[in-house]
Copies of this chain bind each other. A is one copy, B any other.
Amino acid sequence: MIGKLNHVAIAVPDLEAACITYRDALGASLSQRQELPEHGVTVVFIDLGNTKVELLEPLGENSPIAQFLERNPTGGMHHICYEVPDIRSARDRLLAEGARVLGDGEPKIGAHGKPVLFLHPKDFCGTLVELEEV
């Protein structure tokens, strides 16, 4: 069912500092900053050739990564995103397997303009999993 690894998201308290680390120390290729107020984050993409890392900084009130950064003040890996060809059939299979889909179970439009769902970390080895339909 799952296909490619679409991205790994790393939540950071200071996006500018994280960009300097990735650009200067690791020599990575970075995108421009993008504010995504509807997702409560500012994001920079790191293009790794085969996949990407997304650096996420909280934006506005009630950012979905604010609590994570309270628990992990220096930042950390926040979620991993796998591609699926059909997100509703993926969801139905997961529900049949007893996995928990976060929210109301209906796909939302994610940061890349594609339908996404998030799965409960306790059902997936302590890892928050995003599925993105591509």
Q: Report A's interface with B, CB cutoff 8 A.
A: 1-5, 8, 10, 12, 18, 21, 24-28, 48-51, 53, 55, 72-77, 80, 82, 93-94, 97-99, 121-127, 129
Contact = CB atoms under 8 A, between A and B. Distances in A.
Contacts of A28: 1-2
**Oligomer: number of copies:** 2
A127 B3 CA distance: 24
A10 B125 CA distance: 8
A1 B26 contact: yes
A80 B82 CA distance: 16
12 contacts: A2-B26, A4-B48, A5-B8, A21-B124, A25-B97, A25-B98, A26-B82, A48-B82, A51-B51, A72-B126, A74-B122, A76-B126
